[in-house]
Structures are given as structure tokens and as C-alpha cells.
């Protein structure tokens, strides 16, 4: 019996980059995720750190090839008519593992079936198959319309790479210089300026996020916001919870994420000195790291939770010693990041 029809769509998604507590980096990636019946397909894979082949930071010729393959106008990249649906966000090599599926025509329809985890040329559906995914049958015309939008000059994938640019406002002190270097390492452009005086409006509109340095006064911040409003820029502002580079980078990542709330797994983070409240919309792995500045102004970091959470709200106990003084939490899933100051009672 043929599979029932499902709707096919695309939506901007993000693999949150970051500067981790252990000093390692995660590269920021923007991509288009697949929507099946209005829900991100990636959400059905609860513990997968991956991106689709429709990434915004690949050359146009490669993106066009990926779209043509999904449209079945070019040869499948893997044996048996299999296509990469989600791959490694760092190298995109099949050797790292990928979620693949057979994409085929059935009359005028397009069917995605036999989803599996694949690391080599062949697939063992018994061992690596995703039995609870698919098959999905899409109306061929609607499927084509969605994918062909990506090939337009102003298509939904076009602006994403250009939007990864951040303005750091303040003196070139150590914290801003280190933040700029860290952001560039994870794939986010960063410029430092003392103020926005005499900066052309078109340049201001190129920055979706502004980060204020710790020494910037409130009148100076007000002047910067006014300049961006006058330029007609849709800009988010990062005030800086604590002067710690991994926290500031996490705040930037969150500010860059302009996806619809329905496309987020991690939707709430609150913290006190006794517990943290985390809310997720789908089953996923979450990590919580506490950052604080000690009495000698040295940054301290401690992982306070790492585990799998089911959809809903969760209360996670915190060791008061890990969040004493001026502290904040950073929560991460594979696709998003949230920060929250710790409220002391």
C-alpha cells in the first residue's frame, strides 16, 4: 500500500558554533532543514549533530548540484540511489557517518524511503536502519517548487552566509580581541569599532548583531542603538552577561538564530543558585555549563549536566559552589544555545 502523502518544505536552521569550556571549538553552520508535515526532519533524530547538504556556506555550484540531485536531475552520490540527508557538520565526509535515504520517483510523486546510518558504500538496514522514519511520499510539483526556490538569487539560502557578521563596540581591550578571534575561528565574521559615528547606513545594516564591550557606557550604547535604528537595521544587541569569551560567543550564537520558535529544540533556560529550569520541544541531548568570575577576576567553568531530555520542562539541581558570585549558565543542544544569568536568592 503506498505511503500517505506528506507535505515537503524547507526552513532555515543553524548548527550552533561555540567556544567550549575545554577550549575546543564548534564551527557555526547555517543550512536549510527539511520539513515533513511542517516539522523539522532533524528533530526525529534526537541525538544527531549534523547538517543537511543544503548549507549556505558552500559555493553556488555545489549548492546547485545538491538541489539537482534531490530533484533527481543528477545522479545520486551513493550506490543504490541513496542520498545524504544529514552529514557531519565539520567535514561532511561519509566516513564520519551520515543519515542517507533512497529518493525515487513513483509516477509524479517523489518518495523518500529506507533511512539509515551509513559510513561506507553499502547499507545494512537491519543494523543501521531508522525504522520509525518514512517512507514519505511528496507531491512532485510541490516538492519541486520548494527546492527550486533555493536556486533563485534571492532564495531562502542566499542571505544566511552574509548574515554571519558581528560588530563588537568598544575599545580593543583583551576581552573583545579574544572574542573577535574566537568568533572568526568558528566561522562568524567580527569587526571591532569604538563607536558608530560616521559609519554609512549600508554598512550598519550588514551587522545583524552588536556586542557591547564592558567599558561602553549607557549613553554610548544608546547612541549606537539610535544609529542602527536610523539605518533601518534589524539588529540584536548583546550586553554581555559576564566578560568570559565562551559565554559571549554563546550569546552571539543565540542572537544570530532568527529561526521561528517552532524550529527550536531548546526554548527556555532559567537559573537560580539552587537549580536550573530547561525546556525542550523534542527529545535531545542537552549540556549545561556554569561560568563564573572569581574574586581575582579569573573565569571558571564547570559542566553541571549532560544528558538526554524528553520533551517538556525539566528542573536540574545545581551545586551552589559552581554558580556562586557573578555566574551564568550556557545550555546547548545540537542546533541551538541559550544563556541565562544565575539569580541568587
Cα–Cα distance, 142 to 35 (Å, whole number): 13
Q: What is the pLDDT of residues 170-182, one digit of tens each?
A: 876 788 999 999 9
**pLDDT tens for each residue of 90-141:** 877 888 899 999 999 999 999 999 999 998 777 888 888 998 898 999 999 9
Please indicate, yes or no, whether residues 64 and 109 belong to a single structural domain of this protein.
yes
The domain boundary, picked from 113, 130, 160, lies at: 160
Last residue of a domain, one of 221, 239, 258: 258
Q: Kindly state whether residues 146 and 253 are assigned to the same domain.
A: no
| Residues of the domain holding 294 | 262-345
267 lies in the same domain as 151:
no
Please enumerate in sequence order all residues whose Cβ is within 8 A of that of 222, keeping only pairs 6 or more positions apart, or say none.
none
Give residue-wise pLDDT tens across range 276-297. 999 999 889 999 999 998 888 8
pLDDT-based confidence at 158, cuts 50/70/90? Answer: very low
- Say yes or no: 155 and 117 in one domain: yes
Which residues are paired to 29 by β-bridges? 15
127 shares its domain with 254? no
**What is the enclosing helix (H) or strand (E) of 223?**
helix 218-230
Q: Which residues fall within 8 angstroms of residue 20, CB to CB, at 6 or more apart?
A: 26, 246, 289
CATH number, domain at 234?
3.40.50.2300
Domain boundary among 139, 160, 181: 160
pLDDT at 3 over 80: no
Angle at which helix 245-256 crosses helix 174-185, to 10 degrees, equals: 50
Amino acid at each position: 500500500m503506498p505511503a500517505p502523502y506528506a507535505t515537503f518544505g524547507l526552513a532555515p536552521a543553524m548548527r550552533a558554533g561555540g567556544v567550549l569550556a575545554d577550549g575546543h571549538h564548534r564551527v557555526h553552520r547555517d543550512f536549510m532543514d527539511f520539513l515533513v508535515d511542517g516539522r523539522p526532519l532533524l528533530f526525529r533524530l534526537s541525538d544527531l549533530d549534523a547538517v543537511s547538504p543544503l548549507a549556505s556556506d558552500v559555493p553556488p555550484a555545489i549548492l546547485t548540484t545538491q538541489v539537482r540531485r534531490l530533484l533527481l536531475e543528477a545522479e545520486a552520490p551513493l550506490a543504490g540511489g541513496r542520498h545524504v540527508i544529514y552529514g557531519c557538520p565539520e567535514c561532511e565526509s561519509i566516513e564520519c557517518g551520515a543519515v542517507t535515504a533512497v529518493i525515487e520517483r513513483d509516477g509524479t510523486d517523489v518518495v523518500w524511503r529506507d533511512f539509515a546510518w551509513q559510513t561506507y558504500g553499502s547499507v545494512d538496514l537491519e543494523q543501521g536502519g531508522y525504522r520509525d522514519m518514512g517512507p514519505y511520499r511528496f507531491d512532485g510539483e510541490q516538492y519541486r517548487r520548494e527546492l527550486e526556490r533555493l536556486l533563485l538569487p534571492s532564495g531562502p539560502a542566499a542571505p544566511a552566509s552574509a548574515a554571519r557578521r558581528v560588530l563588537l563596540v568598544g575599545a580593543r581591550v583583551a576581552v573583545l580581541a579574544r572574542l573577535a578571534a574566537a568568533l572568526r575561528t568558528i566561522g562568524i565574521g567580527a569587526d571591532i569599532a569604538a563607536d558608530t559615528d560616521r559609519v554609512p547606513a549600508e554598512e550598519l545594516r550588514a551587522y545583524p548583531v552588536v556586542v557591547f564591550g564592558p567599558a561602553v557606557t549607557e549613553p554610548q550604547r544608546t547612541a549606537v542603538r539610535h544609529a542602527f535604528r536610523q539605518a533601518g537595521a534589524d539588529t540584536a544587541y548583546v550586553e554581555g552577561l559576564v566578560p568570559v569569551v565562551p559565554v559571549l560567543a554563546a550569546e552571539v550564537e543565540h542572537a544570530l538564530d532568527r529561526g521561528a520558535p517552532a524550529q527550536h529544540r531548546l526554548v527556555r533556560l532559567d537559573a537560580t543558585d539552587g537549580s536550573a529550569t530547561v525546556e525542550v520541544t523534542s527529545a535531545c541531548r542537552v549540556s549545561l555549563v556554569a561560568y563564573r568570575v572569581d574574586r581575582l577576576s579569573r573565569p571558571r567553568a564547570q559542566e553541571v549536566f549532560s544528558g538526554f531530555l524528553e520533551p517538556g520542562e525539566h528542573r536540574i539541581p545545581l551545586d551552589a559552589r559552581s554558580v556562586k558570585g557573578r555566574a551564568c549558565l550556557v545550555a546547548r543542544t545540537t542546533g541551538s544555545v541559550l544563556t541565562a544569568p544565575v539569580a541568587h536568592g
